[in-house]
């Protein structure tokens, strides 16, 4: 199963792979070179298919916990001053996605979207300290029953060249449902109230919609 954001790119890649293979078969006499080109074309298609995969996921829904919005590795846990929406200290948990991770972004909590904004910006590597403020990004805040306002921020990385955000202010959303998609590697930050009990630690590997980041 593939995500809808990948349909166009998958189709274009498939056409290119077929064209490359046919051209190699017709124009290239050297068997080794022809086979190499065909193999590279197939590898390119497999990589694109893997990137846009959207496997069925058992969503871990509960008002008593916050789930990871994406697949990846926990790379930041720290108290920071969040100045775009809260203007106060928050507990930040950041999950880094490599190009081989599933790149669907999911809502970490259920509730009403009270803020959704896109910011154009740079494409610094996702782990750069300034990436959360200077890179292309989207900020979404959902007001939940037990955690209050929970902010998650999609951040483009050096390879990411498009962030898709489905959240609209006023919308009622369910935990684990699609919030957006980041194409070709990046990270997502989650901002929670100070004192929130975390269920993860640095370098933990998490899965979007099923791994619990925090709980009451």
Clarify whether 62 is annotated catalytic: no
Provide, for the chain, the percentages of residues in helix, strand and coil under a 3-state DSSP scheme, each rounded to the nearest 5: 25, 40, 40
Task: Choose the catalytic residue: 186, 210, 211, 215.
Answer: 186
Report the C-alpha gap between 126 and 68 in whole angstroms: 17
The residue length of the chain stands at 216
Written as one string, the DSSP assignment of 34-71 is: HHHHHHHHHHHHHHHHHHTB---------TTEEE-SSS
DSSP secondary structure letter of residue 184: S
Catalytic residues: 186
């Amino acid at each position: 199963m593939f995500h809808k954001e990948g349909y166009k790119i998958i189709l274009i890649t498939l056409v290119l792979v077929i064209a490359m293979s046919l051209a190699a078969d017709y124009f290239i006499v050297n068997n080794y070179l022809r086979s190499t080109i065909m193999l590279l074309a197939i590898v390119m298609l497999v990589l694109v298919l893997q990137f846009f995969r959207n496997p069925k996921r058992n969503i871990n829904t509960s008002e008593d916990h916050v789930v990871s919005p994406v697949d990846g590795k926990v790379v930041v846990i720290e108290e920071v001053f969040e100045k775009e929406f809260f203007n106060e200290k928050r507990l930040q948990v950041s999950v880094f996605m490599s190009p081989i991770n599933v790149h669907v972004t999911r809502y970490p909590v259920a509730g009403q979207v009270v803020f959704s904004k896109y910011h154009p910006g740079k494409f610094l590597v996702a782990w750069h300290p300034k990436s959360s403020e200077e890179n292309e990004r989207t900020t979404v805040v959902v007001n939940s029953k037990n955690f209050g306002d929970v902010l998650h921020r999609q951040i483009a990385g050096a390879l990411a060249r498009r962030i898709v955000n489905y959240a609209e202010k006023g919308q009622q959303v369910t935990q684990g449902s699609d919030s957006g998609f980041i194409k070709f590697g990046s990270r997502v930050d989650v901002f929670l109230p100070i004192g929130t009990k975390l269920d993860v630690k640095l370098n933990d590997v998490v899965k979007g919609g099923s791994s619990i980041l925090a709980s009451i």
